[in-house]
Structure 1
Amino acid sequence: MINRLSFTFEDEKTQKKAFKAIEKEQQSIGYYALPDQDITPLLKYCDSISDTIDTIAVIGIGGSSLGAKAVYEFLKPLNGLTRKLYFFESTDPINITNLLSHIEFSKTHFLVISKSGTTVETFSIYKYIYSLQSDPTAYTFITDPDSPLETYAKEINSTVLHLPHNVGGRFSVLSTVGLVPLALCGIEIQALLNGAKEVKESFFYDGYLKDTLLKKATFYAKNHTQYNINCIFAYSETLKYFCEWYVQLWGESLGKHQRHSAFHVGLTPIGLIGPEDQHSFLQLIMEGTRDKSVTFIKIEDFHDNITIPDITLPHLEGLDTLNNLPFSKLINMQCDSVLESLEAQDDIPIDTIILPSVDENTIGSLLYYYELLTSLVGELIDVNTYNQPGVEAGKIILKKKLNQKER
């Protein structure tokens, strides 16, 4: 699963210390337990939504939407999803108007997601939609217990679902936040959790992923000043929104003051999609500053066998080498070619993740893999992985501006 990154640094003492810290974190950080949860209550809730509903709309931002969107967009190209899923996650008026043009209110159920219950972006959008659809049965609210949002939802007699204890937004995709909208669209959420559980058990019970993740995290931590940019180069359009989720997870978790110093640290995340970005950003990786590591993600089985036709085009006979080639093989050949070109540079750290197929188990595994990797790197670079004071600072200023507006 990994190549050059594995063998650059090995520090068994550091790795053992990090592993013990992560083991201990399971007692206080809620996301670790999510693969083992009983989803019976969630499925029962989903069954209560009328069959006349053909669209689910999530009103939420950041961790309240990015994870579910990553899974949905990964699986959407496959047949079998029972409902459409839209995400209202921006206060851009053009975006809001455009999304609403795709929705029929009588056939749409809205999930309003806010951990705190007071997210400005979420409730500005909710207020607007509520002015157009005021039926309380059209809404389900997902929030922390006893939040202002729960109080409001109960007052208007809407359904309330809770987030599990101590699960931060960017780690919440395998909780109510992600599982409910995905299950409502026909996605097998138990398979999603099973994939995550395989990674969890491999890591915590001495499977091959324990060594993989510890070595990879150690490399990132020990080289975070030189290789301070981490690029995912995913060779499938289905992973575009996974890359967005990763950017939030990595950036918001690792860009911090260190706990025991005044230093600012972090690894800058960049999400790239092949082959399109190999015609642009690859130039910067190949010949630019040596401050970037690259993780290639490729898919073994695309579940699609379309093939380039056996056609000869006048004056373009040199391209007949493409004839009869499946697109799934071509895109992986492109990935392998770029990977080999970077391997030849010797000073660009690279590794590869191979996904067996496009299904729930696979994306569940990948999500949990990156959550564990994030926690390990956070521990090793000595930051609080689970807070976000830099994000909160902007929220405080915005609320002050809004309060001044009322005067």
Structure 2
Amino acid sequence: MKNNLYYPKISLSDEDIFLEIKKEREEIGYYSLPYYDTNNIKNELNKLDFKQKNIAIIGIGGSTLGTFAIYNFLKYHKQKNKSLKKEIFFFESTDPVNLNGTISQFNLEDTLFIVISKSGTTIETISIFKYLMSITKIDKSNLLVITENDSKLNAFANANDIKTFDIPKNVGGRFSVLSNVGLVPLYLAGFDIDELLKGSRHISTSFFEQYELYTHLIKKARTYYEYKDVYNINAVFSYSQLLEGFNKWYIQLWGESLGKIDANSTNQGLTPIGLLGPVDQHSFLQLIVEGKRDKTVTFIKIKDFKDDTKIAPTTLQGLEELDYINNLDFKKLINLQADATIASVKEYKKDIPIDLIEIEDISEFEIGKLLFYYELLTSIVGKFLRINTYDQPGVEGGKIILKEMLKKKN
């Protein structure tokens, strides 16, 4: 009789977790991405010398969300400084109204198309790609492919003499933003990819050299783990519309990585929620403050918005009592709104776990830090939960069923 027992350790020390993460770094590819030498990719793209005004990224999930997070965070600042070389549009959804609505926003004939799929057979991506090819000319002069080097999409690219960029096999899609998946389109659009990686290296070095972030990240991950059965919903409350893309990326990263069955056949998972301030303080905040105590909240603020727009010093008849806001910078207003919300949760409702992340400014360096911080945090929480952070069997099942349904339909 064979009897295998897979009980997780009752008590995991911080050193145990750290050693496991260090060992995992030898196999899981995203850990090495901050140290990537960008000279080769920049040289190759410079030689291609694409003149198109726009970039259209065709992909879904990990192929687009990270790039959109960075683009959405930086694009207005880049436009203001006139350093945005190309505008990026994203094709993710098979919603036909959204598809054609996106197409109507720019000139297809002045567009570089980038198809991104790690497997190369993603139904949504290939469906949209086929449609776009049917309505405009797409060939090696205006197309790049980013995929695994042995995928069917790569075979298509090779057969049509289309330039390809590789996605490493040991880098999962939702952890791939600092690979060619994000670096290629962002560099072409005028973003400083070296600063992006420098920011991520800052986080990596601080943790693995056991500087200040080592204790912080281990403690934060342990808190999520030890209180997972009480506070199993984790809300990120970002005080800027610029972080809307980050929120979406975080939801995929957290949900798809941590919603798993552990070695003891127990269903695990922490539910991510992305909120935007000040908008959601007029709605979801009510649930946080007076609702069920099942949520942690991470507030994210931007210290310097690099924008000095002020509230006009105008007196409105009947609203004179609000003149105290006159001449106030909007950047100060939004951060005061964040501070007031944090105080209301922290001072009056002491049974709600909260923490604060402050971003110095709007730059590639800062968003690179934030993205790698959350990737690393996700990995550490996964170790505490005793799960495989990097697979997604729950998602793969749906893909298999869809393909079977489509084959029968046709």
Query: Please, what TM-score do these two structures have when normalized by structure 2?
Result: 0.94
Q: Separation in 1 of the partners of 2:166 and 2:311?
A: 49
1:52 to partner: Cα distance: 2.6
Amino acid at match of 1:15: D
Q: Does 1:171 align with 2:175?
A: yes
Q: What's the secondary structure of 1:224's corresponding residue?
A: coil
Q: Separation in 2 of the partners of 1:202 and 1:195?
A: 11
Provide, for residues 369-397 of structure 1, a one-character-per-residue CA deviation record: whole Å limited to 9, x for no partner.
00000000011011110000000011010
Q: Separation in 2 of the partners of 1:313 and 1:141?
A: 56
Q: Separation in 1 of the partners of 2:13 and 2:281?
A: 36
Q: Over aligned residues, Cα RMSD in angstroms?
A: 1.3
Amino acid at match of 2:125: T
Alignment-derived partner of residue 324 in structure 2: 321
Alignment-derived partner of residue 122 in structure 1: 125
Alignment-derived partner of residue 5 in structure 1: none
- After superposition, residues 6-17 of structure 1 pair within 5 angstroms as 14-17=13-16
Alignment-derived partner of residue 279 in structure 1: 282
Q: Separation in 1 of the partners of 2:256 and 2:325?
A: 43
Q: Separation in 1 of the partners of 2:132 and 2:310?
A: 45
Q: What's the secondary structure of 1:87's corresponding residue?
A: strand
1:208 to partner: Cα distance: 0.6
Q: Does 1:26 align with 2:29?
A: no
Alignment-derived partner of residue 389 in structure 1: 393
Alignment-derived partner of residue 45 in structure 2: 46
Q: 1:299 to 1:345 in 2, by over 3 A?
A: same
Amino acid at match of 1:238: L
Q: Which moved more, 1:131-140 or 1:206-215?
A: 131-140
Q: Separation in 2 of the partners of 1:226 and 1:345?
A: 16
Q: Does 1:67 align with 2:66?
A: yes
Provide, for residues 303-348 of structure 1, a one-character-per-residue CA deviation record: whole Å limited to 9, x for no partner.
0011112222222121111112111111111101110111121110
Q: Which moved more, 1:76-85 or 1:239-248?
A: 76-85
How many residues are matched?
395
Alignment partner of 2:184 out of 173, 180, 183: 180
Alignment-derived partner of residue 230 in structure 1: 234
Amino acid at match of 2:76: P
1:104 to partner: Cα distance: 2.0
Q: Separation in 1 of the partners of 2:161 and 2:133?
A: 14
Q: What's the secondary structure of 2:13's corresponding residue?
A: helix
Q: Does 1:147 align with 2:148?
A: no
Percent identity for Structure 1 against Structure 2: 50
Provide, for residues 184-217 of structure 1, a one-character-per-residue CA deviation record: whole Å limited to 9, x for no partner.
1100000000000000000000111111101000
Q: Separation in 1 of the partners of 2:12 and 2:386?
A: 16
Alignment-derived partner of residue 295 in structure 1: 298
Alignment-derived partner of residue 217 in structure 2: 213
Alignment-derived partner of residue 89 in structure 1: 92
Alignment-derived partner of residue 366 in structure 1: 370
Q: 1:194 to 1:328 in 2, by over 3 A?
A: same
Q: Separation in 1 of the partners of 2:186 and 2:174?
A: 16
Q: Separation in 1 of the partners of 2:327 and 2:403?
A: 59
1:12 to partner: Cα distance: 9.8
Amino acid at match of 1:281: F
Q: Separation in 2 of the partners of 1:51 and 1:30?
A: 30
Q: 1:307 to 1:103 in 2, by over 3 A?
A: closer
Alignment-derived partner of residue 6 in structure 1: none
Alignment partner of 1:404 out of 392, 404, 408: 408
Q: Separation in 2 of the partners of 1:112 and 1:55?
A: 14
Q: Separation in 2 of the partners of 1:100 and 1:380?
A: 44
Alignment-derived partner of residue 340 in structure 2: 337
Q: Which moved more, 1:308-317 or 1:146-155?
A: 308-317
Q: What's the secondary structure of 1:257's corresponding residue?
A: coil
Asked if 1 retains the 8 angstrom alpha-carbon contact of 2:92 and 2:125, the reply is: yes
Asked if 1 retains the 8 angstrom alpha-carbon contact of 2:34 and 2:200, the reply is: yes
Structure 1: unaligned runs, 5 residues or longer: 1-10
Q: Separation in 2 of the partners of 1:279 and 1:130?
A: 44
Q: Separation in 2 of the partners of 1:161 and 1:300?
A: 36
Query: Please, what TM-score do these two structures have when normalized by structure 1?
Result: 0.95
Amino acid at match of 2:379: S
Q: Separation in 2 of the partners of 1:180 and 1:12?
A: 43
Q: Separation in 2 of the partners of 1:164 and 1:194?
A: 20
Q: Which moved more, 1:178-187 or 1:102-111?
A: 102-111
1:30 to partner: Cα distance: 0.1
Asked if 1 retains the 8 angstrom alpha-carbon contact of 2:12 and 2:384, the reply is: no
Alignment-derived partner of residue 311 in structure 2: 308
Q: Separation in 2 of the partners of 1:68 and 1:212?
A: 27
Asked if 1 retains the 8 angstrom alpha-carbon contact of 2:50 and 2:112, the reply is: no
Q: Separation in 2 of the partners of 1:374 and 1:202?
A: 16
Q: Separation in 2 of the partners of 1:13 and 1:141?
A: 43
Q: Separation in 1 of the partners of 2:103 and 2:48?
A: 21
Asked if 1 retains the 8 angstrom alpha-carbon contact of 2:315 and 2:323, the reply is: yes
Q: What's the secondary structure of 1:384's corresponding residue?
A: coil
